[in-house]
Chain A
Amino acid sequence: KQEVTQIPAALSVPEGENLVLNCSFTDSAIYNLQWFRQDPGKGLTSLLLIQSSQREQTSGRLNASLDKSSGRSTLYIAASQPGDSATYLCAVGKTSGSRLTFGEGTQLTVNP
Chain B
Amino acid sequence: ETGVTQTPRHLVMGMTNKKSLKCEQHLGHNAMYWYKQSAKKPLELMFVYNFKEQTENNSVPSRFSPECPNSSHLFLHLHTLQPEDSALYLCASSQGRGYETQYFGPGTRLLVL
A and B together in one complex: yes
A interface residues (Cβ-Cβ under 8 A, vs B): 4, 31-32, 34, 36, 41-46, 49, 89, 91, 93-94, 97-105
**Smallest CB separation, A83 vs chain B (Å):** 18
Q: How far is the CA of A101 from the CA of B103 in the complex (A)?
A: 15
Interface bits B32-52 vs A (CB < 8 Å: 1, else 0): 010000001111010010100
Tell me which of B43, B98, B101 contacts A49 (CB under 8 A).
B101
Report whether over half of chain B's contact residues are helix, strand or loop; otherwise say mixed: strand
Do the beta carbons of A104 and B56 come within 8 Å of each other?
no
Q: How far is the CA of A51 from the CA of B49 in the complex (A)?
A: 23
**How many of chain B's residues touch chain A, expressed as a range?**
20 to 34
Do the beta carbons of A97 and B55 come within 8 Å of each other?
yes
Do the beta carbons of A43 and B56 come within 8 Å of each other?
no
Do the beta carbons of A4 and B42 come within 8 Å of each other?
yes
Q: How far is the CA of A13 from the CA of B66 in the complex (A)?
A: 42
Do the beta carbons of B43 and A89 come within 8 Å of each other?
yes
Q: How far is the CA of A99 from the CA of B56 in the complex (A)?
A: 8
Known: A42-B107, A43-B4, A100-B43. 13 other contacts (CB 8 A): A31-B98, A41-B109, A43-B106, A44-B92, A46-B101, A89-B43, A94-B99, A97-B55, A98-B50, A98-B94, A102-B43, A104-B41, A104-B42
Do the beta carbons of A43 and B107 come within 8 Å of each other?
yes
**Smallest CB separation, B110 vs chain A (Å):** 13
Do the beta carbons of B41 and A31 come within 8 Å of each other?
no
Q: How far is the CA of A93 from the CA of B99 in the complex (A)?
A: 7
Q: How far is the CA of A102 from the CA of B6 in the complex (A)?
A: 21
**Smallest CB separation, A108 vs chain B (Å):** 17
